[in-house]
Chains A and B, each alone.
Chain A
Amino acid sequence: MDVRIYAEGTRLLGCVAPLSTYTVILKKLNEPGGGKKPEKKQKLLFICAFLTCIGLTFLILACAVPSPKIFYPFFVLLFYVLSVLPVFIAKRTTPGNETNPKSEFALFLTAGMVLSAFALPIVLAHAAVITWTAGILTIISNLINYGTIFGYAMRDDEPYGSMF
């Protein structure tokens, strides 16, 4: 059983990894010559794409590893999208770095959505809808993906990051 799982996992990884590196190379080719330190930007984009690919691979493994193939771990993708949205909207309506009630409420919702993405696999595994292996793999995938999102938001070419 284990050999088949590893084969399936590496087959999935082999399909997703070239896609992400291809998009990074496309971005590198379309970039204008200006901007600061294009090699650093490319390196950052490459690291972000690679880590996102690894995170999504763990998510696919969480759905593929146990013997009944259950797709419920994919619902954390909804929480990924919902967690980025409030701060994005708050930053668009009130630009600048001073805090105000709107941006603080947006941070409140963001923290809630991040917690929900971690709580959903735990609740599903506790209720025996998915196995604990799938739950732990989903949590690892969450850690990698949220770490990538946060690290990208905190990149140092703009003060305080353009997203937060």
Chain B
Amino acid sequence: MSVLDKVADYFTGEASRNRNTSIIAGLLFFAGWWVLIDAMSIDLKHQITTGHVFIGIFGTISFCMVNAVKGEHISEENSSESGARIAKIWLLVGFLMGFASIIAAIWVMIDDFINNEKKEGWFGVALLMQNVFILFASLIYKFGRNEEEWNE
């Protein structure tokens, strides 16, 4: 059937690398947030606090910052030098926030959920999984797409 051929061509053609990358990044990002929603919905004793959710929000802000900078903003052909410098600083802060959210999630998991007898360990693992998924989604979305295919 030609619909199946078109589907196969949609995912494996030449112009489909950006599409596949966007789809995989979308699945990972939303999977991270749904893992947190699932953990908080079975958490009857409010062991996951608002501060724990902020780690995921930092990861999301890092996603937006990292992907707002296009390759042409920091390339050598950019005419305004201060613009390129600001774009590099923005990218740096974005990556710092992303990796800081991972470090914070590991710290919270070990210190607050595993070494603490009053809280269950699974919620810390869910927090870590959420932030790892969000970071992987932002990295895949940033580095998996080929920017030369954009003819704007």
Contact = CB atoms under 8 A, between A and B. Distances in A.
Contact of A107 (B19, B31, B149, B152): B19
Interface residues of B, number: 30
Given A97-B15, A126-B42, A156 B150 contact: no
Given A97-B15, A108-B141, A127-B41, A156 B31 contact: no
B2 interface: yes
Contact of A112 (B19, B26, B70, B149): B26
B27 interface: yes
A59 B27 CA distance: 23
A98 B149 contact: yes
Contacts of B54: none
Contacts of A110: 23, 26
Contact of B6 (A101, A116, A154): A154
Contacts of A122: 38
Bin chain A's interface residue count. Answer: 20 to 34
Nearest to A112: B30
B37 A111 contact: no
B41 A123 contact: yes
A161 B5 CA distance: 12
B41 A111 contact: no
Contacts of B75: none
A115 B137 CA distance: 14
B10 interface: yes
B31 A119 contact: yes
Given A97-B15, A119-B30, A126-B38, A108 B22 contact: yes
Contacts of B31: 115, 119
A98, A100, A122, A154: most-surrounded residue (chain B CB, <10 A): A154
Given A108-B25, A112-B30, 13 more contacts: A97-B15, A99-B150, A100-B151, A101-B70, A107-B23, A108-B22, A119-B31, A119-B34, A123-B37, A126-B38, A127-B42, A161-B6, A164-B10
13 contacts: A98-B149, A98-B151, A101-B70, A104-B21, A104-B145, A107-B19, A108-B26, A116-B34, A119-B37, A123-B37, A123-B41, A151-B3, A161-B6
Interface of B: 2-3, 6-7, 10, 15, 18-19, 21-27, 29-31, 34, 37-38, 41-42, 70, 141, 145, 149-152
9 A-B pairs closest in CB distance: A111-B26, A112-B30, A108-B26, A119-B34, A127-B41, A107-B22, A111-B23, A104-B22, A112-B26
